[in-house]
Structure 1
Amino acid sequence: MRSDLARRYGQDRLPRYTSYPTAPHFNPTIRGVDYRRWLKSITPRHPASIYLHVPFCRSMCWYCGCHTSVTKRDDPIAVYASGLRTEAHLVADTIGHRQPISHIHFGGGTPTIMTPETFADLVGALRYSYFVLPDAEIAVEIDPRTLTEPMSEALGFSGVNRASLGVQSFDPAVQCAINRLQSFDQTTRCIELLRRAGIGKLNFDLLYGLPLQTVDSCLDTVAKCIELRPDRFSVFGYAHVPSFKKHQRKIDEDALPDSIERHLQSDAIADALVDAGYVRIGFDHFALPHDNLAIARREGRLRRNFQGYTDDVADTLIGIGASSIGRMPQGFVQNAVATRDYLARVADDRLATIKGYAFTEDDRFRADIIERVMCDMAVDLSRIARSHNRDPGTAVIDRARFLSLIADGAVTIKDDRISMSDGAEFLVRSLASTFDAHLARSSATHSRAV
Structure 2
Amino acid sequence: MDNQKELVFDPNLIRKFDVNGPRYTSYPTADRFVEAFNADALTDWLGQRAGGGLSRPLSLYFHIPFCNTICYYCACNKIITKDHSRSAKYLKYLAKEVAMQAAALNGSREVIQLHLGGGTPTFLSHDEMRELMTIVRQHFTLLPDGEYSIEVDPRKVDYATVAMLAEAGFNRMSIGVQDFNIDVQRAVNRVQSFDETKLVLDAARETGFQSISMDLIYGLPKQNVISFNRTLQQVLELSPDRISLYSYAHLPGLFKPQRRIDAADMPSADTKLQILQLAIRRLTEAGYVYIGMDHFAKPDDELAIAQRQGRLHRNFQGYSTHAECDLLAFGVSAIGKMGPTYSQNVKTLDEYYDALDQDRLPVLRGIEATQDDLLRRSIIQALMCHFELSIPALEQAHMIDFKSYFAAELEDLRAMAKSGLVTVGDEWLTVEPAGRLLVRGIAMVFDKYLRADRERARYSKVI
Instruction: Report the TM-score, using the length of structure 2 for normalisation.
Output: 0.93
User: How far off its partner does 1:218 sit?
Assistant: 2.3
Is residue 330 of structure 2 the alignment partner of residue 320 of structure 1? yes
Q: CA deviation at 1:385?
A: 2.5
How far the C-alpha of 1:401 sits from its partner, in A, is: 4.3
Q: Which residue of 1 aligns with 2:3?
A: none
CA distance in 2, matches of 1:397, 1:342: 43
The range that moved more, 34-43 or 435-444, is 435-444
For residue 15 of structure 1, the aligned residue among 22, 29, 46 is 22
Residue 203 of structure 1 aligns to a residue whose secondary structure is strand
Q: Which amino acid in 2 is paired with 1:449?
A: V
Task: Show CA shifts across 1:157-216 (max 9, x none).
Answer: 101101100011111121111111111011011123323333242110111111221222
Q: 2:447 aligns to what?
A: 436
Residues of 2 paired with 1:282 and 1:207: CA distance?
16
Which residue in 1 is equivalent to 2:4?
none
**SS of residue matched to 1:345:** helix
Deviation at 1:97, TM superposition (A): 6.0
Which of 437, 442, 446 is residue 426 of structure 1 equivalent to?
437
**Greater Cα shift, 412-421 or 177-186:** 412-421
1:258 positional shift: 3.6
1:411 aligns with 2:401: no
Identify the range of structure 1 (281-290 vs 358-367) with the bigger mean alpha-carbon deviation: 281-290
Residue 231 of structure 1 is matched in structure 2 by: 241
Matched, 1:288 2:298: yes
Partners of 1:157 and 1:86 in 2: CA distance = 24
Q: Indicate whether 1:5 and 2:5 are aligned.
A: no
Q: Map of 1:74-223 to 2, 5 A cutoff? A: 74-96=84-106, 99-223=109-233
Q: Which structure 1 segments of 5+ residues have no match?
A: none
The Cα of 1:39 is off from its aligned counterpart by 0.5
Letter paired with 1:428 = V
Structure 2: any 5+ residue segments left out of the alignment?
A: 1-8
CA contact (8 A) 2:445 2:451 kept: no
In 2, the alpha carbon distance for the partners of 1:414 and 1:118 equals: 55
Residue 47 of structure 1: which of 57, 61, 72 is its match? Answer: 57
Indicate whether 1:383 and 2:393 are aligned.
yes
Shift of 1:135: 1.8
Q: CA deviation at 1:416?
A: 4.4
Say yes or no: does 1:256 pair with 2:269: no
CA 1:115–1:316 in structure 2 vs 1: closer, same or farther (change >3 Å)? same
CA distance in 2, matches of 1:89, 1:432: 38
Which amino acid is the alignment partner of residue 118 of structure 1? Answer: E
Deviations 1:36-63 (A, max 9, x none): 0110122353311000000111111111
Q: More deviation in 408-417 or 219-228?
A: 408-417
Residues 11-40 of structure 1 deviation map (CA, whole Å, 9 limit, x = unaligned)? x11111111111100110100111001101
C-alpha distance in 1 between matches for 2:138 and 2:107: 12
Cα distance in 1 for partners of 2:155, 2:395 equals: 49
Q: 1:348 to 1:153 in 2, by over 3 A?
A: farther
Q: CA deviation at 1:120?
A: 0.5
Q: In the alignment, what sits opposite 1:448?
A: 461
Q: Give distance in 2, aligned partners of 1:360 and 1:72.
A: 44
The range that moved more, 203-212 or 390-399, is 390-399
1:61 and 2:71 aligned:
yes
1:32 alignment counterpart: 39
Distance, in Å, in 1 between the alignment partners of 2:41 and 2:232 is: 46
Looking at structure 2, the residues matched to 305 and 72 of structure 1 have their Cα atoms a distance apart, in angstroms, of 32
Distance 1:157 1:115, change over 3 A: same
- Aligned partners of 1:7 and 1:260 also within 8 Å: no
Paired letter, 2:225:
V
Counterpart amino acid of residue 433 in structure 2: D
Q: Deviations over 1:415-446 (max 9, x none)?
A: 24222222331111110000000114445611
The answer to whether the 8 A contact 1:289-1:295 is kept is yes
Mapped to 1, the partners of 2:334 and 2:208 lie a distance apart of 28
In the alignment, the residues of structure 1 paired with residue 200 and residue 412 of structure 2 have an alpha-carbon distance, to the nearest angstrom, of 45
- Tell me the alpha carbon deviations over residues 271-329 of structure 1, each in whole angstroms, 9 at most, x when there is no partner: 21111121111131111122111110110110001111110223300011100000111
1:361 maps to which of 356, 371, 382: 371
Contact 1:98 1:131 in 2 (8 A): no
Q: Is the 8 A contact 1:100 1:132 kept in 2?
A: yes
The answer (yes or no) to whether the contact 2:70–2:80 under 8 Å persists in 1 is yes
The answer as to whether partners of 1:40 and 1:94 remain within 8 angstroms in 2 is yes
Contact 2:150–2:174, Cα closer than 8 Å, also in 1: yes
Aligned residues: 449
Aligned to 1:278: 288
Deviation at 1:396, TM superposition (A): 5.8
Q: What value does the CA root-mean-square deviation take over the aligned residues?
A: 1.7
Which range moves more in the overlay, 331-340 or 185-194? 185-194
* Partner SS state of residue 415, structure 1: coil
TM-score (norm 1): 0.96
Equivalent residue letter for 1:426: L
